[in-house]
Amino acid sequence: MVTQAVTQAERRVRTRSWRKVSEEHEEHEELVAEAGKILRRNDMGGWTRAAPELYPHQWSWDSAFIAIGLAHLDTRRAAQELRTLFAHQWKTGKVPHIVFNPKAPPDSYYPGAEHWACAASSPDAPPAPPYTSCLCQPPVHAIAALRIWEAARRKDEKALVEATAFLREIYPRLFAWHRYLATFRDPERSGLVTIYHPWASGTDNSPRWDDALAAIEVGEMETYPRFDLQHLDDPSERPASAEYDRYLWLVKLIKRAGCDERSIYRSHPFLVKDVLFSAVLVAANEALLEIAEVVEASDEERELIDGWAGRSRQGLKECWDEKLGLCLDYDLRADKPLRVRTVAGFAAPLIAGRQSPERLEALLGELDSSAFSGHPELRWPLPPSTSPKETGFHPRSYWRGPVWPVANWLLWWSLIRAGEPERAARIRRASLDQIAEGGFAEYFEPFTGEPLGSNSQSWTAAVVLDWLLSDSLRKADSRSSQSE
């Protein structure tokens, strides 16, 4: 396997140097065209389904990434993506993790609208239908809103005026969303966001949650359908039934608590401080501060946002594990850190930014090590979602090992912000090669590069657009190829 991987790596290098610049350009044009086509096909009129069959609804953080990609094609449509999502914001400020598509084919996704319909009876829920779940996902939205405005500023005066009006409209909603996360989801004021379901992390079956889930005793439950498995050939690409039992049991408990945040916090068996979620919130609060400036928000609000960001930076620092050189999630019920090496461990501090030179070096060392991107058998030098050195690693199973383009986008973006443009350019280039070879998959097998999960995944298309159409990136890329 090692010999084969080295050969593949050599072949890649040779292919690259043989390939003429014009050919690369053509390949990029094709990728841009294909990504645009995918987003158009998944466009449901003002919002985009996460994938054509497996995910026929609007997902919260998917929509934010989609808006980042769409901003390069049509800033007005990109703004609409976020506007549609935020139209279903809860009174507490929560942005639901799914807004259910009333026109989705029956039996296409479980648990669907009917399962979550009860959430609509919560006094905090928005008017329904459409129904929403009562979970939430990492808050990429302010980053997306700012990106839309920046894209409009590069375009023309008319687009800028429109995007500024959009920021004025969305700012109070973003502010309420971040305030919800800083209060309801962090009653300890630790700076770290608590999740009460693995779905809220966005990295659902990651071994990050194994210990916390293992402690849960699943009670009496009705049988349930696995519609997700109909859409794939190989069931091992999706979470296992033991994981699904726990997901649905947790949903049952959340529904039993009437989706009430305080009751959930009091009694729920799965309560975890999520470092990746919290780090995205730091970056999102930084974006929100910039938005606050554009819309001339009050000093009081700006101070609050700044304070939330500072508190989360501090909270994340305290999750650092010197031995692993990573940041660790914290299980509030067991009162202990969750010691697993996943991409979240180094992505979180990088996304949160402002690391000391020593810590940055440790993080980059871990990223480059054989535990992640430096593993000798990888098809592409990209970090598997879980380190192959972990016992919970599985190369085909969803967030337990496959490589995710969307996670690589977050890393790339954070590396640029951390002053590491060459490393960022390498991640971008390998990711584009991976997608050019395997298509717009949801995730990829790390050793073979086989595309897995859904195809035509919207956020994969969106990050490709951003990688290929972002000016700043092209510059970083050319700097690094000059130094090669």
The binding site for ligand 2M8 (CB under 6 A) comprises 50, 55, 59, 61-62, 97, 137, 199, 202, 204, 228
CB of 195 to ligand 2M8, least distance (A): 12
Closer to ligand 2M8 by CB, 61 or 444: give it. 61
Q: In angstroms, give the least distance from the CB of 446 to ligand 2M8.
A: 16
Beta-carbon contacts of residue 453 (< 8 Å; ≥ 6 apart): 54, 232, 237, 238, 398, 402, 441, 442, 443
Residues with Cβ within 8 Å of residue 248, at least 6 apart in sequence: 111, 221, 224
**Closest to ligand 2M8 by CB, 65 or 149:** 65
Query: Which CB, 71 or 276, lies closer to ligand 2M8?
Result: 276
Residue closer to ligand 2M8 by CB (options 313, 396) is: 396
Which candidate in 237, 261, 390, 442 is catalytic? 442
Q: Is 204 a catalytic residue?
A: yes
Q: How far is the CB of 196 from ligand 2M8 (least distance, A)?
A: 14
61/166 with CB nearer ligand 2M8: 61
CB of 17: closest distance to ligand 2M8 in angstroms? Answer: 36
The position carrying tokens 């069959």 is 53
Q: Which residue is nearest to ligand 2M8 (CB)?
A: 202
Minimal distance, residue 437 CB to ligand 2M8, in Å: 22
Q: How far is the CB of 385 from ligand 2M8 (least distance, A)?
A: 10
Pick the catalytic residue: 53, 81, 204, 420?
204
In the complex, the smallest distance separating the C-beta of residue 400 from ligand 2M8, rounded to whole angstroms, is: 12
As a three-state string, the secondary structure of the chain is: CHHHHHHHHHHHHHHHHHCCHHHHHHHHHHHHHHHHHHHHHCECCCCECCCCCCCCCEEHHHHHHHHHHHCCCCHHHHHHHHHHHHCCCCCCCCCCCEECCCCCCCCCCCCCHHHHHHHHHCCCCCCCCCCECCCCCCCCHHHHHHHHHHHHHHHCHHHHHHHHHHHHHHHHHHHHHHHHHHHCCCCCCCCCEEECCHHHHCCCCCHHHHHHHHCCCCCCCCCCCCHHHHCCCCHHHCCCHHHHHHHHHHHHHHHHCCCCHHHHHHHCCCCEEEHHHHHHHHHHHHHHHHHHHHCCCCHHHHHHHHHHHHHHHHHHHCCEECCCCEECEEECCCCEEECCCEHHHHHHHHHHCCCCHHHHHHHHHHHHCCCCCCCCCCCCCCCCCECCCCCCCCCCCHHHCCECHHHHHHHHHHHHHCCCHHHHHHHHHHHHHHHHHHCCCCEECCCCCCEECCCCCHHHHHHHHHHHHCHHHHHHHHHHHHHC
Shorter beta-carbon distance to ligand 2M8: residue 204 or 433: 204
To ligand 2M8, the closest distance from the beta carbon of 200 in angstroms equals: 8
For ligand 2M8, which is the closer residue by CB, 89 or 137?
137
Of the pair 132, 137, the CB lying nearest ligand 2M8 is at 137
Q: Which residues are catalytic?
A: 204, 442
